[in-house]
Structure 1
Amino acid sequence: MRAHLPFCAKLLVTAAAASLAGATLAQDKTVELKFAHWLPPTHSLAKTGFEPWARSVEAASKGSIKVALFPAQQLGKAADHYDMARDGIADVTWANPGYQAGRFPVFAAGELPFLIGKPGPGSAALDAWYRKYAAAEMKDVKFCFAHLHVGTMHSKKPITEPSQIKGMKIRSSNGTNAAFMSALGATNVQVSAPEARDALEKGVADALAFPWDSVISFGIDKAVKYHSDMRMYASDFAWVMNKGWYDKLSAGQKKVIDDHCNNEWAAKVGAAWGDFEDSGKDKLEKTAGHTIVKLTPAQVDMWKKAAEPVYTQWADAVTKSGVNSQQALGELRKEIDSRKAN
């Protein structure tokens, strides 16, 4: 019997600790977490990312953290969501840092053309790589995690070669994509995703860079009929948090948030949303009046060659920010390769 006492004692200590942790969470003061984003509440990311995350936070906190979702730019414009978290207009926001070109040059590496091809492992790679840079580049918020989607060109006329972009009006997905379109001779149309369909229908834009299924969910399939079959660009997104809100949480509540602001969640959201977005290609292909524009390997190589100056521009911007661009991009490529995300 004595030989079993140490083991029993361990079990009692473990049980007591677990009970104490549960009691602590149960006794925590209930707080509201205002989560703002700019997508429609019916959007695929709302269903595969925001809502599952919110439910998981509430369950893990035993109801002491209540998540209130504010979709569709209810609390502010799409481009303002990073600053909304910083300023406490919302507690957590879904931000596209690329909407403020040049402000987050290191983060923009994930937007470089033809760098990342698979959204799930690509999101895990981007998030793992960026965490050490976020402390400096996004120091006025608490960085939660990063993820991305992969998209292509959708247009009123078929696009197969980069030379066709010259003279066109393009709604770009982010600052890096805008730099690419400018290098090809296009005029950039700076509107957020919710405003893209209107720009196309009014003739303000001729084409846009967008992920596949969002073309349908934003109603853009009513304005464009041709979709170039290439993995041209990625858009990076960051879930960011107001520091003051986080600092006021109990120790148990902070652990819940930390457990939901990690690489596992980055990969999970990136894969769930990214795979759904990619499924939009088949939907469009089966929709009357829509054409998936196939490219030859030689044409894809032309696009990649045309994108080389964008890499140089990115490196110059990062170097000016005080970061070794060659080292940073090398680290990101290593993460991408190790996760087979390209």
Structure 2
Amino acid sequence: MKFTIAAAVAATLLASTAIPAAAAEVELRLAHWLPPTHPVQALGIEPWIESIKQASEGRIDVTIFPASQLGAAPDHYDMARDGIADISYVNPGYQAGRFPIYSLAEIPFHATNAKSGAKALHEWYAPIAETEMADVKFCLINPHDPGTLHSKEPIKVPEDIRGKNIRPAHATMARFISQLGGASVQVPAPEAREAITKGTADAMTFPWNSIYIFGIDQATKYHLDMPFYLSSQMLLLNKATYEGMSEENRKVIDDHCTADWSEKFSIGWADNEYSGRQKMIDSSEHTLYKPTDEEVQLWREASKPLIEAWRADVTAKGADPDAIYESYVEALKRNDAFYE
């Protein structure tokens, strides 16, 4: 009995003097504006964070702040710049005119998918981000599966936009709606449901399954069945946070801010969004309209002024729109993601 007690005491003393598990060297805050149940968190952000933890052998830890806890959706770029968050999930299109070069990615009928399309966008934009987004560290791009128009009444051709109030995905889509005689109701995705259910908006541009994710499926019953446009989000880092890391830790981050990671990060969400289309096909409550070839051409012709407006905006910034556009199309073609 004495031996047992002595052994227990010794074990207790040993436990009390044991070295605790080492805390992470770097504690990062990642902010986004989506609900924590959104597939971007489960299928993109969380696997990315876990890979960083593994690659850094626990030296880097990341805490997620979802649902606009640290700031509103349009503020996330400035949050990364100012250090309110170390990493922010940013939709550049929420700030009209601020990133004119990147807005090319928002023009309809260019990228056909969000997987290899994400890789193409990263390859194209990474060198441009060094100047257009110079006050943050660009990491990766996360477009959604091509979205389309979802409405209370059928929308089949561009003329059907006239006189309607529409929630656009971003500033470029807002410009398109205005060109077609509609009015834009500009709210970020988390506020879209309120706009449509309260009658502020008649229709919206959204990816397929987000209609279900944000609870809008009871308000929008008609859907234009074609890959229309992308909304491309980004992960951006605070520069001081990144530059303050050790060389070893910076390399881990660099290895997770690549074109391959943009694709990997985007696959799960892309598949999830596309699944919403089949849900609607299988539902008796929803009507999908597939435009004829002639009607698709009407939409494509209607979108051409967006390219000319983009060229003017880029020229005003002192950049070469022809070279930038050519490099964008080349990246999409190289990755089999160009809308022919």
- Normalising by structure 2, what TM-score? 0.91
What amino acid does structure 2 have at the position aligned with 1:277? E
Contact 2:77 / 2:236 at 8 angstroms: preserved in 1? yes
Q: Tell me, what secondary structure is at the counterpart of 1:139?
A: coil
Structure 2 distance, partners of 1:216, 1:28, is 40
- % of aligned pairs identical? 47
Q: Tell me, what secondary structure is at the counterpart of 2:236?
A: strand
- Is residue 143 from structure 1 mapped to residue 138 from structure 2 by the alignment? yes
Structure 2 distance, partners of 1:115, 1:86, is 30
Q: 1:326-337 alignment to 2 at 5 Å? A: 326-337=322-333
| Total equivalences in the alignment | 317
Contact 2:148 / 2:205 at 8 angstroms: preserved in 1? yes
Structure 2 distance, partners of 1:260, 1:248, is 17
Q: Tell me, what secondary structure is at the counterpart of 2:278?
A: helix
- Is residue 89 from structure 1 mapped to residue 84 from structure 2 by the alignment? yes
Structure 2 distance, partners of 1:239, 1:321, is 24
Q: 1:132-281 alignment to 2 at 5 Å? A: 132-149=127-144, 150-281=146-277
What amino acid does structure 1 have at the position aligned with 2:95? Q
Q: Which residue of 1 aligns with 2:5?
A: none
- Is residue 303 from structure 1 mapped to residue 299 from structure 2 by the alignment? yes
Q: Which residue of 1 aligns with 2:104?
A: 109
Query: Which stretch of the first structure deviates more once superposed, 73-82 or 292-301?
Result: 292-301
Structure 2 distance, partners of 1:185, 1:282, is 31
Structure 2 distance, partners of 1:268, 1:31, is 24
**CA 1:301 to 1:43, structure 2 compared with 1: closer, same or farther past 3 Å?**
same
Give the Å deviation of 1:283: 1.2
Structure 1 distance, partners of 2:88, 2:281, is 34
Q: Tell me, what secondary structure is at the counterpart of 1:127?
A: helix
User: For each residue in 1:36-55, what CA deviation from the matched residue of structure 2 results, as whole angstroms up to 9, or x when unmatched?
Assistant: 00111111111110111111
- In structure 1, stretches of 5+ residues that fail to align are 1-25
Contact 1:85 / 1:91 at 8 angstroms: preserved in 2? yes
Q: Which residue of 1 aligns with 2:58?
A: 63
- Is residue 321 from structure 1 mapped to residue 317 from structure 2 by the alignment? yes
Query: Which stretch of the first structure deviates more once superposed, 60-69 or 190-199?
Result: 60-69
- In structure 2, stretches of 5+ residues that fail to align are 1-20
What amino acid does structure 2 have at the position aligned with 1:32? E
Query: Which stretch of the first structure deviates more once superposed, 189-198 or 147-156?
Result: 147-156
What amino acid does structure 1 have at the position aligned with 2:49? A
**Candidates 34, 37, 41, aligned match of 2:36:** 41
Larger Rg: 2
Q: Tell me, what secondary structure is at the counterpart of 1:329?
A: helix
Q: Which residue of 2 aligns with 1:21?
A: none
- Normalising by structure 1, what TM-score? 0.90
Structure 2 distance, partners of 1:161, 1:278, is 22
Give the Å deviation of 1:28: 8.8
Q: Tell me, what secondary structure is at the counterpart of 2:147?
A: strand
Q: Which residue of 1 aligns with 2:6?
A: none
Give the CA RMSD over aligned residues: 1.3
What amino acid does structure 1 have at the position aligned with 2:331? E
Give the Å deviation of 1:322: 1.1
The structure in which a higher percent of residues are helix is: 1
